[in-house]
Chain A
Amino acid sequence: MKRNVLPGLPLSLGITLFYVGLIVVLPLAALVFKAASLGPSEYWAIVSSPRAVASYRVTVLSALVATAFNLVFGLALAWVLVRYRFPGRRIVDAIVDLPFALPTAVAGIALTTLFASNGWFGTLLAPFGIKVAYTPLGIMVAMCFTSLPFIVRTVQPVLEDLDPALEEAAQSLGGSDSAIFLRVILPLLMPALLAGLSLSFARSLGEFGAIIFIAGNQPMETEITALLAFIRLEEYDYQAAAAIASVLLITAFLMLAATNLLQARALRYTARS
């Protein structure tokens, strides 16, 4: 067996474990500990209360709609950026990252101002009876904004590396454009698409800053789960805050597991081709 000759393992691993332990593991352990200190029946009563369940419904439904929108829009955007050349393409490519770079609170007040009934878009939508700000639709818009880059950025590199020979072969066999897209290109993009999808969905479930400004925050209607945990804290109901935060934590872990699984698959796929 080859002996590793490089120095610095104790120091670098020591720093890493100390940092991860202190910054990441300790707080999460404390949260789990706090939530577990509630009895099972008490815990269940908090996490299954009508207000909590309503918040899950709003959060999950909005995240699903936002992710579905971004699936189509993100894929189209990645396609346009990779396959077409047009003036301003590089600016569009750069600006896709804005939702990552723009602080969520800033995005929140900007989107609220745009979609409020007297805002630029709000006044245009009002004649059709569409209200965005302070309704579930507003939550979806905010989620669309914050999770937009995920699908674009996971699909884009795969689309760039797509072998043109595959399409040419399909064309020479007489496949129509739509058939080639659906049966040759889309299956190749699928692992990246799924990985981006799970990242985008996870981000939407946990988003807070951009949403609370535009949501209206009415209990049972437009109150997301993260906000409910925050409200319980402000009411000094720490046990309820811990219980609801633990639900978000468990969901995040499930999403993380799903993402890792999908990413491992995506990597295996690209490595093979």
Chain B
Amino acid sequence: MTPTRRKPPRVGDGPIIRRVLIGATLFFGAILVLAPLIVIAVEAFSQGLKVYAATIAHPDTGHAIYLTVATALIAVPANTAFGLAAAWAITKFDFWGRRVLLVVIEIPFSISPIVAGVAYLFVYGLQGLFGPMLESADIKILFALPGIVLASMFVTAPFVARELIPLMQAQGRDLEEAATSLGASGWRIFFSVTLPNVKWALLYGVVLCNARVMGEFGAVSVVSGNIRGQTNTLPLHIELLYHDYQAAGAFAAASILATLAVVTILAKVGLERRGAGRRPALGSAAKEQNTGTRT
């Protein structure tokens, strides 16, 4: 037997089934995933560079970009701090209700963004719990930046915590306990021991969280009030242009978010090479090393 034939072909390694499967998945993948990305680029420039530049330079687009970035600058750090705190509490300590807390953190992930938006109306809206109180104190939360930020924080609440918790659970408490016994303070342990061990997973969560915050549509569309040039984030601005029959403009604005999506994916691939984004429960370290040396 020649060394090249040492391994028997595995299931599905026949040339026909192989070609059919690769061909079919690539075909549907191109239709469903690749084509939307291409059509955005084509439509954005369909009326020429001038219309594209005019849309991007329009004050309403500028304001939408500003509002989207401002929302991300508040919501993402808040979410990061929450994710770190939640992961520390849940993985370094045992307390009553720990499992319930884990489930509650995951809730926003399975709830329709519209439900989130409606729910926020019933807290801060005029018909809501605090609405009349806020109105008399002249504090605006809905139809303004705070509402948009809060709704974004709801939909992304699990993003950072969900990357950190499985990893920190797998890493255990030994290192932190050793550091404590050597006299390190809590913050020192956190910054010198815990954080370096989870930095890629943390960054991974932050990148995904940012993409979702900047792209959130449903929840923000309920709480923002859609006031042009005032409470329109970039996704809402795209909807407005699209329904105004300014398709080229809508796609020009969409191209900004599509670029963000591509950058997010590139960052994700880069971080995955550093081991982030893998659930430790599902793949053993030894196997990961094996595939790592082969590719």
B121, B173, B258, B264: the one within 8 Å of A106 (CB): B258
A20: chain B residues at CB < 8 Å are 86, 101, 104-105, 157
B10, B81, B258: the one within 8 Å of A83 (CB): B10
Structural contact, B180 and A95, CB atoms closer than 8 A: no
Cα distance A31–B82 in the bound complex, in angstroms? 23
B180: chain A residues at CB < 8 Å are 5-7
Structural contact, A30 and B128, CB atoms closer than 8 A: yes
Question: Is the C-beta of B129 less than 8 angstroms from some C-beta in chain A?
Answer: yes
Structural contact, A161 and B115, CB atoms closer than 8 A: no
- How many residues from A make CB contacts under 8 Å with B? 100
B28, B89, B113, B157: the one within 8 Å of A73 (CB): B28
A221: chain B residues at CB < 8 Å are none
Cα distance A158–B110 in the bound complex, in angstroms? 23
A255 (CB) vs chain B CBs: closest residue: B110
Question: Is the C-beta of A209 less than 8 angstroms from some C-beta in chain B?
Answer: yes
Structural contact, A23 and B154, CB atoms closer than 8 A: yes
Cα distance A97–B176 in the bound complex, in angstroms? 35
Instruction: Give the contact stretch, choosing among A39-47, A49-57, A244-252.
Output: A244-252
**Total A-B pairs, Cβ < 8 A:** 311
Structural contact, A27 and B265, CB atoms closer than 8 A: no
Structural contact, B88 and A25, CB atoms closer than 8 A: no
Structural contact, A103 and B214, CB atoms closer than 8 A: yes
Distance in angstroms from B252 CB to nearest chain A CB is 11
Distance in angstroms from A188 CB to nearest chain B CB is 12
Structural contact, A6 and B93, CB atoms closer than 8 A: yes
Cα distance A40–B239 in the bound complex, in angstroms? 37
Structural contact, A98 and B114, CB atoms closer than 8 A: no
Structural contact, B254 and A31, CB atoms closer than 8 A: no
- For chain A, residues 49 to 90, give those with C-beta under 8 angstroms from any C-beta of chain B: 73, 76-77, 79-80, 83-84, 86, 90
Structural contact, B85 and A16, CB atoms closer than 8 A: yes
Structural contact, A13 and B33, CB atoms closer than 8 A: no
Question: Is the C-beta of B190 less than 8 angstroms from some C-beta in chain A?
Answer: yes
Structural contact, B108 and A24, CB atoms closer than 8 A: yes
A to B CB contacts below 8 Å, 17 in the list: A7-B180, A7-B185, A8-B89, A8-B92, A24-B107, A27-B119, A34-B127, A94-B269, A110-B39, A157-B279, A158-B282, A161-B283, A226-B112, A233-B121, A241-B121, A256-B110, A270-B281
Listed from nearest, the 4 A-B pairs whose CB atoms lie closest are A103-B215, A206-B112, A27-B119, A7-B186
